[in-house]
Structure 1
Amino acid sequence: MSIPFQLLVTEGFLNEMLNHAIEELPYECCGVLGGRFETRESEKIGVVSTVYKLENSLKSEIEFLSSAESMLKVVKELRQKGEEMLVVYHSHPVSFPKMSKKDLDMIDGTNLLHLIVGNVKTIPEFGLWWVNEQKKAIPCNFIFDNPR
């Protein structure tokens, strides 16, 4: 199985996630990106339209678990807006944006991409991953779009 889709994102959405990560320091933040799917030149593209912040119920510097209440609220909002959940994101406040063993162990399913905001306290970086059935993290590229 190959990467299910590519991700189209604006700088504004990346800044929203970075600001969320900064707000939650020293803890990891978590959230999801909502949007819709389009087909462009026979490629499936996930077009981001909303950043949804979730509550990290663990309040931890090294792991996250979205609270059930915040996830339920987001799922309802996605439905109301007619959006799909495209990406689960979280931060690594002081480390690189690579999938950790804990991150990989938490993933169930292969239909979403996973974004990590890394090195939040120093020089922030973004990493985008798809995790296959064997729990191997495969790096993905962003497609950048100018805001409309």
Structure 2
Amino acid sequence: MSNKKIVIPQIIYNQMVENGRSNLPYETCGLLSGIDDYVQSIWHLENEVKSVSRFFVKKETVEETMRKINQLEEQVLAIYHTHPTTAPVPSSYDIFNHPDEKVSMLIISYKTNPPITKWYNIQGSKYVEHLFFIESC
């Protein structure tokens, strides 16, 4: 486990978990942006493949979202997605398709109730779990 610590405000964490829950049984995805290691914004993205084990978002949708993030002078801190029925561990598919080693991966698993969330840094074919904190508002 890495010493890097990320902070997510409770309201953003709740929005992310609810977005995943409302899209079950399919995976859902989005971006978390902010400054340094503090999440300030959430960007829900539509999973265009309606799959229980994959997500896909059009390049144009991602580019438009990135423009909005840049306008706020934030940076993408993580891509989040859900695992409706499996553990919150990156699959080989998740790792292979992860676009940028500078952007973390957050996975929410609905295999249990309440859901379990894990934050990872992906480096090549390996991943390292990071600590994150949910900040009470």
TM-score of the superposed pair, with normalisation by structure 2: 0.90
Change (3 A) 1:47 1:116: same
Decide which structure has the larger Cα Rg and report it: 1
Q: How many residues get paired?
A: 137
* SS in structure 2 at match of 1:70: helix
Question: Equivalent of 1:79, from 64, 67, 70?
Answer: 70
* SS in structure 2 at match of 1:86: strand
Structure 2 gaps, min length 5: none
Distance in 2 (CA, whole Å) between partners of 1:30 and 1:129 is 15
Shift of 1:60: 0.6
**Residue aligning to 1:63:** 54
Shift of 1:68: 2.4
**Residue aligning to 1:103:** 94
| Identity between Structure 1 and Structure 2 (%) | 24
* SS in structure 1 at match of 2:76: strand
Shift of 1:4: 9.6
Distance in 2 (CA, whole Å) between partners of 1:88 and 1:11 is 18
Give the conservation status (yes or no) of the 8 Å contact 1:54–1:67: no
* SS in structure 2 at match of 1:141: strand
**Residue aligning to 1:8:** 7
Give the partner amino acid of 1:146.
S
Shift of 1:72: 2.1
| Structure number with higher relative contact order (C-alpha < 8 Å, ≥ 6 residues apart) | 2
**Residue aligning to 1:25:** 24
**Residue aligning to 1:51:** 42
Coordinate RMSD, CA, aligned: 2.0
Q: Deviations over 1:81-108 (max 9, x none)?
A: 1110100000001111111111011123
Shift of 1:120: 5.7
Q: Deviations over 1:36-89 (max 9, x none)?
A: 11xxxxxxxx11001100111111110111222321221111011111010000
**Residue aligning to 1:136:** 126
Give the conservation status (yes or no) of the 8 Å contact 1:34–1:78: yes
